[in-house]
Structure 1
Amino acid sequence: MRILLCTDTYPPQLNGVSVVVAGMVAGLRARGWDCTVVSPSYPSALRDLLHGDHGGAQYTVPSIACPGYPDIRLAWPSTRNMRKLIKHLRPDVVLSATEGMVGRAGSHAARDLGLPLVTSYHTDFSRYCDAYGVPWMRTLVSSWLTRFHSRANATLTPSLASRRQLQAFGIHHTRVWSGGVDTEQFHPRHYSATARYRFALGHAFTFLYVGRLAPEKNLELLLKAFAKVSRSRPGRVRLLIVGAGPSEAALRAQAPDGVSLLGALDRRNDLPSLYASAEAFLFASTTETLGLVTLEAMASGLPVIAVPAGGVGDYLQDGRNGLAFDANDVDGCAAAMIRLCDDPSLNERLRAGARQTAERYGNKAELDRLDSTMRDIIRTHGQPVRASAPLLLEHAAPDSR
């Protein structure tokens, strides 16, 4: 089986969506699929950070840095060029993994040529509008999302909450597929005294955040809550923040004593041991369709203190695998942090519950379901595409890395 996967984010760019999409490619290839990826180009400095094989042929579309958020790449491929590529490759199905211009070009080309089209919904962009100070754009963004996913034969969505949101938009051909978490890569056995020494944690109760540093993640709340806890438990707590993004400078300026912003860390070599060597994970976002980092934390045996909103609400169980607090409630977050600091037995119980939850979301079973789902869509909607002479995308080239 052949699949063309069109995405506006892919390694070496690091975020939840790029991780899930790369996992799709690797998982399908391991199950016998011939996968080709179309993604934006990335600067060589970023490509040098890429570890591992993310699978198959890759075509990169020239891109530019997003103003104000240079980690995001903006590409503008033409539907005409995408049609040429599809006729050359003759895939059985097209998966448009993102709603940006690369995903849109793949979507239009697949429908023009009568190919089965699958879309995936990973990001609730309509809710980002409030965080970025443009609430008036929410209706426009919701309309864009609706038009994009309405073209598909099926839309993959990572949680029941995001499925309900798409249904509210009038999109009913949804299938819940979370992508899952690698429970071997993220595991309590990766605890490392060396990692704790590296970051000078000593015996401090260490809270961890991993993710993009952006307004929608509400990291200011975590800093305020930590400041309250630190004042009541002086010298006993630390907060490590891992990630990069447009809010980094502001967060560094606001960070109280005891907070360390570590920047982006190597996902394979550094993150597993850092997760497993902390005591608890903090997360204040209310816009997640899944919240992959919270599952990675749970797989590493960390209790999660988070808002049970969006996809996180599907699996966060207060008192079983973590502690819940209300959206924008600084005092509620601080109170949960203090509970864990002061009650070792609660911490141990939640650690066990977190790992049990993550094991139910293991990525092997999820990738098996993805394989089955894509084959079913091809059987139901597939038809051959007439071949053309070999022809590559104009202004694009196969990426050999």
Structure 2
Amino acid sequence: MKIAIFTDTYTPQVNGVAKTLKRLTAYLDGKSISYRVYAPAASGTKDHNQNVIRFKSFPFWCYPECRLAFPHLSKVKKDMKDFKPDLIHIATPFNIGLVGLYVGKKMNIPVVGSYHTHFDQYLDYYHLSFLAPYAWRYMRWFHHSFKKTFVPSLHTKQKLKIQGFHNIKLWKRGVDRKHFKPITDSEQHVRNYYNIKAPYLFSYVGRLAPEKGLDTLIEISKRMPPHVNKNIHWLIVGDGPLRRSLQMKAPLNMTFTGYQDGIRLAQIFASSTLFVFPSETETFGNVALESLACGTPVIGASAGGIQEIVTHKKTGILCRPGDVESFTTAILSLLSDPAKLAAMSKLAREETRDWGWDDIFEQLLRDYQNVVDNRSHPSLA
């Protein structure tokens, strides 16, 4: 099988979509499966992977960490004719995704797609809610010709069904348990690096953007009772348009680390007492799964895909979305019950055993093959 992937975000960009696609291509490399990735050019980074075709891009004006690409249609068509893919996978509904859809139709190549982001909810946070009906209309048009639309959670699948999408298939996400794991010497390393003296370490990992519920996070940090607060330090891992304003509002016991990856990120997860994640807009929530794999319970919003990762009151606590009191009560209940916290930590690690990437990608390849076979034998569709 030969697979062509069209995406408006890819490594070295830091987000769940880019990271998932990088893992997918690494898996394809390991299986010696031929692929092409059509993606935005990475600013200041040279790509030595000949399977990745890059296009000139610029930061998106209202969200600079996202890039707007300008794909060269004739270049894509020529490369596709040479490559002769069996299937096209479109990961995003923007410029490069549109080119993938156009080429797929013109060359009669079966197209599948994936849905990663609740853009309608994002619009709420940017005071553009009036655009939501138009966004859904566009997304229905964009996805209607796909043989399958892959979604990361059952919650997302149900939401798309309500919106009139068809041929929806679950494509779960996974976690590398060899990388994200309890690390015995990580806590002192992280504490020394960030000069943390407080006994409790709370972390947040993700984009620093309005849709992540970070005003709620700041308010949670300020609502901790003084006698507890003096024993807490917060690590805010990530970057984005809100970083400067958040730092101005943040309490003294909060450190902003910027983007982290690799062993440092795993160490931060493993060193944390709790992972606090108030986002209400997650289609999945990779970071919550990574936290659990490190043995760190999650205090998260009872919304979106997070509900399918965190087992309430067993591997974490799911709180009322946007409710500061619900979050602070959950945190205080665990800090006052060390035995419960320890039990949650142990179970958090254990419950990630069934989230291996290899099984997930093997299923995805079976779904790809099913689409290709049905193209060759329409009577089986």
* Short-chain TM bin: over 0.9
Q: Identify the match of residue 111 of structure 1 among 105, 116, 120.
A: 105
Q: Does 1:260 align with 2:255?
A: yes
Q: Deviations over 1:150-189 (max 9, x none)?
A: 1211111100011111111222211101131111111113
> SS of the counterpart of 2:352?
helix
Deviates more, 1:282-291 or 1:67-76: 67-76
Q: Does 1:72 align with 2:70?
A: no
> SS of the counterpart of 1:36?
strand
Decide whether the 8 Å contact of 1:79 with 1:106 is kept in 2.
Answer: no
CA distance in 2, matches of 1:190, 1:154: 43
Decide whether the 8 Å contact of 1:230 with 1:237 is kept in 2.
Answer: no
Decide whether the 8 Å contact of 2:88 with 2:111 is kept in 1.
Answer: yes
Does the C-alpha gap of structure 1 residues 218 and 191 become closer, same or farther in structure 2, counting only changes over 3 Å?
A: farther
1:232, distance to aligned residue in structure 2 (A): 4.3
TM-score, normalised to structure 1, is: 0.90
CA distance in 2, matches of 1:342, 1:256: 22
Deviates more, 1:127-136 or 1:76-85: 76-85
Decide whether the 8 Å contact of 1:5 with 1:94 is kept in 2.
Answer: yes
Specify the alignment match of 1:245 in structure 2. Answer: 240
Q: Deviations over 1:22-52 (max 9, x none)?
A: 11111122223111111001211xx27x9xx
1:78, distance to aligned residue in structure 2 (A): 5.1
Q: Deviations over 1:314-351 (max 9, x none)?
A: 12221111011101100111111111222111111111
Decide whether the 8 Å contact of 1:31 with 1:371 is kept in 2.
Answer: no
Does the C-alpha gap of structure 1 residues 239 and 169 become closer, same or farther in structure 2, counting only changes over 3 Å?
A: same
Q: Which amino acid aligns with 1:40?
A: P
1:114, distance to aligned residue in structure 2 (A): 1.0
CA distance in 1, matches of 2:198, 2:300: 24
Decide whether the 8 Å contact of 1:93 with 1:117 is kept in 2.
Answer: yes
Extract unaligned runs of 5+ from structure 1.
Answer: 384-401
Decide whether the 8 Å contact of 1:190 with 1:273 is kept in 2.
Answer: no
> SS of the counterpart of 2:172?
coil
Q: Deviations over 1:127-159 (max 9, x none)?
A: 101011111011111112111111211111100
Q: What is the aligned-residue RMSD (CA, Å)?
A: 1.7
Q: How high is the sequence identity, in percent, across the aligned residues?
A: 30
1:353, distance to aligned residue in structure 2 (A): 2.0
Decide whether the 8 Å contact of 1:41 with 1:61 is kept in 2.
Answer: yes
CA distance in 1, matches of 2:242, 2:77: 38
Decide whether the 8 Å contact of 1:40 with 1:62 is kept in 2.
Answer: yes
Q: Deviations over 1:230-278 (max 9, x none)?
A: 534132011110001011111111101211111112x113101111111
CA distance in 1, matches of 2:211, 2:185: 30
Decide whether the 8 Å contact of 1:229 with 1:337 is kept in 2.
Answer: no
Name the count of aligned residue pairs. 376
TM-score, normalised to structure 2, is: 0.94
Does the C-alpha gap of structure 1 residues 382 and 188 become closer, same or farther in structure 2, counting only changes over 3 Å?
A: farther
1:81, distance to aligned residue in structure 2 (A): 4.2
Decide whether the 8 Å contact of 2:198 with 2:233 is kept in 1.
Answer: no
Specify the alignment match of 2:3 in structure 1. Answer: 3
Deviates more, 1:307-316 or 1:206-215: 307-316
Q: Which amino acid aligns with 1:201?
A: I
Specify the alignment match of 1:24 in structure 2. Answer: 24
Does the C-alpha gap of structure 1 residues 196 and 234 become closer, same or farther in structure 2, counting only changes over 3 Å?
A: same
Specify the alignment match of 1:355 in structure 2. Answer: 349
Specify the alignment match of 2:33 in structure 1. Answer: 33
1:300, distance to aligned residue in structure 2 (A): 0.8
Decide whether the 8 Å contact of 1:308 with 1:316 is kept in 2.
Answer: no
Does the C-alpha gap of structure 1 residues 89 and 230 become closer, same or farther in structure 2, counting only changes over 3 Å?
A: farther
Decide whether the 8 Å contact of 2:288 with 2:309 is kept in 1.
Answer: no
Does the C-alpha gap of structure 1 residues 190 and 17 become closer, same or farther in structure 2, counting only changes over 3 Å?
A: farther
> SS of the counterpart of 1:208?
strand
Decide whether the 8 Å contact of 1:37 with 1:56 is kept in 2.
Answer: no
